[in-house]
Amino acid sequence: MQGPASFLRHPLQASFSKPDCLIVFPAGFGCARAAAGKRWGVTETSPQRIGLFGGTFDPVHRGHIAIAREARRAARLERIVLLPCRTSPHKTDALPPTPGDERLRMLALATAGLAWAEVSDFELRQPSPSWSWVTVRHFQEMMPEADLFWILGADQWEAITQWARPETLRSALTFVVFPRPPHPAPHPRPGWRPIVLDTVHPASATAVRHRLAQAGPPDPDLDPAVNEFIRRHGLYRAP
Ligand code: ATP
């Protein structure tokens, strides 16, 4: 049986033979993937500083992209993997999110010009809810040599000790934390490794969904290609 290191050397072969172990896309996603002109999956060389960016991304907005860019620059990340969740354990009273395939495709469009960004369907293929510690374990097994970073806003940093298995997260990750007014400014936590950055972006997916339900696309906080996708697929319309 192949170990994680061979997966990295033979990513495409491994993605077909062991689909639960790699960044792959569901059948039928090839067109959007090709259209976006991106490289997918684990590449030949193994970068050492990897940013993991989990979220609902319903939809992905300019705030997400702004903090990913800044995290990459400030933490010198070679790659950032954006991971739309199946459902968030933190949003238990929210409506079910937009189907994962559509959120994934919007992420592909929003990151199409960013060579360092990859989109993973890993959490979409796991049972619900999506546990970040499962994702982190997966990447640790797949890239045992890598330094893993987790990108998040101050709203999530506030609650991080209530996430499942915080000890697994604390020991595995450096956190790249962004302010998110009106949430309290990110503060240090003994024993945790945060890099606190000062880029503030006001976008929120809740506000975007609300505006889309009122007025429809285009929305100023969305990439034009995402606006067009939403228009074509009739997403986020008021019931
Ligand atoms: P919603 O409004 O539906 O809760 P959201 O805008 O917070 O969504 P998510 O996909 O849930 O978006 O967020 C994923 C991650 O990105 C979280 O860690 C969140 O804190 C962070 N994030 C999202 N938008 C911003 C922003 N504008 N500034 C800083 N962090 C952000």
pLDDT tens for the 239 residues of the chain, in order: 222 222 222 222 222 222 232 333 332 232 233 334 343 444 445 458 999 999 999 999 999 999 999 999 999 999 999 999 998 888 766 778 999 999 999 999 999 999 999 999 999 999 989 999 999 999 999 999 999 999 999 999 999 999 999 999 999 999 999 999 999 999 999 999 999 999 999 999 999 999 999 999 999 999 999 999 999 999 999 88
Note the Cα 217 to chain centre separation in Å. 23
For residue 204, which of 187, 221, 225 has the smallest C-alpha distance? 221
Ligand 1 atom with minimal separation from the 53 CA: 15
- Separation between Cα atoms, residue 56 and residue 1, nearest integer Å: 34
* Cα dihedral sign, 141-125-80-188: negative
Question: 29: helix, coil or strand?
Answer: coil
Confidence at residue 45, expressed as pLDDT on a 0 to 100 scale: 53
CA of 8 to the centre of ligand 1 (A): 30
CA of 201 to the centre of ligand 1 (A): 10
Report the residue among 88, 180, 201 best suited for mutation to probe ligand 1: largest number of ligand atoms under 8 A from its CB.
180
